Structure 1
């Protein structure tokens, strides 16, 4: 039993490293897809051997720090600047940055993820229509604890970068939100925090 457990642990580590490499080199931003591709490459048949997202994330950070440190730092700075510009334009809707751009793990094809909390979901659509911004919408679910919340998701391009707006009821703004019932709470940052991140990055360049 111990030997099997050790094999599974070793395979988890190998899959996490392979998935991180796929995400970094192939521009894959979907953890589940990267896991499946990595598992197939390594011939892993046991689902117990699949790593958690945070394990892949740790490997992804390490990989990029080793092979693409300067290039990736520039990409993250660029994406955060675009995010901040969008957040300032959408200020009336209480925007928060979340996802890979905030975490610093985004790849070259990543979407910028913003959470919005307008008085009405239609307010955001009207705002975009008034400015002639093309967009598409679909419905999704987000969770706080074991409670599901219906969310309108708006996708568009902002400064040629894919932007995904998750539009919530304003009453859930102070809740800890998750993408799935069993998932982790989504980290998020307001415009002031994103601006502070960018200032910190600039300061680190001149040291």
Structure 2
């Protein structure tokens, strides 16, 4: 196969994987690539695109085809983040994940990072407020090459699922790596989230260009 054919094949694979993620509401990029490879009839030995390329394609797909539903869902995630971050202020919450990047669909839950050296304090905090939650762990990879299982607390905020990873106070400076691009995850504070919402609101309020009259 020539270089041009291989490039076109890779481009098709990226777009198909992004479409699958959005339409089937998957969050597993590896599974989306496998499905895309099969649906396009490509060899199992086809070079897989990077997760970063897939994420960029998801964002492009949603901006092109997601329409009002995508915009409202993203806004709902971010507004829920603001409310949850206000409630969890003693634990210095940060928003991460699809709500931060914009490459989101209804299959995504809101992802927050909080910080305390006593994870049980967050459990008690939620119990005192009558919040039903589940606990677990999520594995994160760090720049030193190590992986660590971080305590996780999950609850529902209306129709939005919220996952809160509970890092130690030292974890403020030890930022885990994104599974998408291998770079430190982007942690957004409340001011950052408010700025995203304001920017989106300003865009929505922009006047439509005047229609052209056809003689």
Aligned counterpart, 1:187: 186
Aligned counterpart, 1:87: 85
| CA–CA separation in structure 1 for the residues paired with 2:82 and 2:91 | 14
Unaligned 5+ residue runs, structure 1? none
| CA–CA separation in structure 2 for the residues paired with 1:135 and 1:105 | 26
Q: CA-to-partner distance for each residue in 1:162-202, whole Å, 9 max, x for gaps?
A: 1111111111202332156x823211201111012112222
User: Is the Cα–Cα contact under 8 Å of residues 119 and 166 in structure 2 kept in the other structure?
Assistant: yes
- Show the 5 A alignment for 1:105-184: 105-145=103-143, 146-179=145-178, 183-184=182-183
User: Is the Cα–Cα contact under 8 Å of residues 29 and 106 in structure 1 kept in the other structure?
Assistant: no
Unaligned 5+ residue runs, structure 2? 207-215
User: Is the Cα–Cα contact under 8 Å of residues 141 and 179 in structure 1 kept in the other structure?
Assistant: no
Length-normalised TM-score, structure 2: 0.86
Higher helix share: 1
| CA–CA separation in structure 2 for the residues paired with 1:70 and 1:13 | 27
Query: Structure 1 residues 99-108 or 169-178, which shifts more?
Result: 169-178
Name the count of aligned residue pairs: 204
SS in 2 for 1:23: helix
The CA deviation at 1:82 is 0.6
Query: Structure 1 residues 86-95 or 71-80, which shifts more?
Result: 71-80
| CA–CA separation in structure 2 for the residues paired with 1:47 and 1:178 | 27
Q: CA-to-partner distance for each residue in 1:132-167, whole Å, 9 max, x for gaps?
A: 222222223323312333310122111221111111
Aligned counterpart, 2:47: 49
- Find 2:34's aligned residue among 33, 36, 40: 36
Output the aligned Cα RMSD: 1.9
Query: Which contiguous aligned blocks of 4+ residues in structure 1 show a shift greater than 6 angstroms?
Result: none
Query: Structure 1 residues 105-114 or 59-68, which shifts more?
Result: 59-68
- Find 1:60's aligned residue among 58, 61, 64: 58
User: Is the Cα–Cα contact under 8 Å of residues 37 and 44 in structure 2 kept in the other structure?
Assistant: no
Shift in alpha-carbon separation, 1:10–1:49, aligned structure 2, 3 A: farther
Length-normalised TM-score, structure 1: 0.90
Shift in alpha-carbon separation, 1:4–1:153, aligned structure 2, 3 A: farther
The CA deviation at 1:42 is 1.3
Query: Structure 1 residues 121-130 or 66-75, which shifts more?
Result: 66-75
SS in 2 for 1:153: strand
| CA–CA separation in structure 1 for the residues paired with 2:192 and 2:56 | 23
